[in-house]
Amino acid sequence: MKTLSAVLGMTAVAAISLCSLPAGAQTYPERTITMVVPFSAGGPTDTVARLVAESMSKDLGQQIVVENVGGAGGTLGAGRVAQADPDGYTILLHHIGMATSATLYRKLAYDTLGAFEYVGLVTDVPMTIVARKDLEATDLKGLVEYVKANKDTVTVANAGIGAASHLCGMMFMSAIETPLTTVPYKGTGPAMTDLLGGQVDIMCDQTTNTTKQIQGGTIKAYAVTSPERLAVLPDVPTAVEGGLDGFQVGIWHGVYAPKGTPTEVTERLSKSLQAALQDQNVVARFAELGTVPSPADDATPAALKAKLEGEIARWKPVIEAAGQYAD
Ligand code: ASP
């Protein structure tokens, strides 16, 4: 049995540690949280964010509203969160572009490794190489031949320099040694609308945006960028199977908060993210869209920090070798 003085001592320690928390951290969250998605509504990042935000809202007991701040390959939305109050009420869900833009942009309005706190990884989504429905090629080899034969007119949609679609499009052009005209959008939601309408020819985008359209036959799919075929798209070969050696890329997503957000808050958000990623509705919806949630160990601040640092280092030499930058 504990003595009264021991209990009082413990209470005093608890009181001191509570007092040392920044105001509000112990009662967080007390109001609506804004999750910035740095791309348009209706696209793949937005889809992932809305599923996760809805589930996290239940866990946190406060609503998370998604705000789309598209433009400049995701750097406008990231910049917006970098400058927000570090109180946990403005957070960011971004993808691999957080790492590639650190090298691709000569000038960024924020210091990628210095401007954020980390909440955790969310998911790693395969890409798909797709085209407007009436493009004549029937397989990846045929697509490459078509593109090479029509290189002056073929257009490739993307979500701006630094976006996943930009990265994948560049990989495609480099693999087939054929530069093409790119058409930037604020996100691949609107890019998909134009692909459906036949205003652009091809795109490489996350399965979270393309799976339903491929299944519905409204666009043509030529390849997935995962090491294996996907259960939801069993007839779509991998890019490697289709003849593009080494063409594999996964688009990892993470949740961030502005630098200075109290650790107690990022830890609370991380716990909530872990709960969301185990939510059976989220798991099922992700599966329908060709992806899986990150494991709980990865939905942590430390794992996302390590991922971002590693990915900046990984892509830096690749981007420098390509020698193409955005101002
Ligand atoms: N898929 C887009 C990209 O290329 C982003 C988006 O619209 O969610 O990065």
pLDDT in tens, 4-46: 344 434 444 444 444 455 667 789 999 999 999 999 999 999 9
- 158 CA: nearest ligand 1 atom: 4
pTM of the prediction?
A: 0.91
What is the predicted pLDDT for the residue at 26? 82
What confidence tens digit (pLDDT) does each residue in 129-164 have? Answer: 999 999 999 999 999 999 999 999 999 999 999 899
The end-to-end CA distance of the chain, in Å, is 67
Distance 54 CA to ligand 1 centre (A): 20
Fold identical between 29-125+251-322 and 126-224? yes
What is the predicted pLDDT for the residue at 321? 82
Could you give the CA distance from residue 274 to residue 20 in angstroms, rounded to a whole number? 26
Are the CB atoms for 258 and 86 separated by under 8 Å?
yes
Measured CA angle at 20 (ends 17, 21), to 5 deg = 95
What is the predicted pLDDT for the residue at 299? 98
- 167 CA: nearest ligand 1 atom: 4
pLDDT surpasses 60 at 245: yes
- Give, using CA atoms, the residue closest to atom 5 of ligand 1: 187
- Of 78, 64, 89, 71, which is closest to residue 116 (Cα–Cα)? 78
What confidence tens digit (pLDDT) does each residue in 250-277 have? Answer: 999 999 999 999 999 999 999 999 999 9
Contacts of residue 120, defined as CB under 8 A and 6 or more positions apart, other chains included, come to 254, 255, 269, 270, 273, 274, 294, 298, 299, 300, 301, 303, 304
Lining ligand 1 with CB less than 6 A are 39-40, 43-46, 97, 158-159, 163-165, 187-189, 205-206, 209
What is the predicted pLDDT for the residue at 14? 43
Would you state the structure tokens that stand for residue 91, as one six-digit string?
């957070």
What is the predicted pLDDT for the residue at 24? 73
Substitution site in 36, 39, 315 for ligand 1 pocket (most atoms within 8 Å of beta carbon): 39
- 191 CA: nearest ligand 1 atom: 7
The rounded mean pLDDT for the chain is 93
Looking at domain 29-125+251-322, its CATH architecture is 3-Layer(aba) Sandwich (3.40)
What confidence tens digit (pLDDT) does each residue in 299-316 have? Answer: 999 999 999 999 999 999
Are the CB atoms for 222 and 129 separated by under 8 Å?
yes
What is the predicted pLDDT for the residue at 23? 61
What is the predicted pLDDT for the residue at 2? 40
% of the chain exceeding 90 in pLDDT: 88
Distance 3 CA to ligand 1 centre (A): 59
Structural domain boundaries in the chain: 29-125+251-322, 126-224
Are the CB atoms for 67 and 76 separated by under 8 Å?
no
Distance 301 CA to ligand 1 centre (A): 23
Domain 126-224 coded CATH 3.40.50.2300: no
For residue 126, what is the DSSP state?
Answer: E
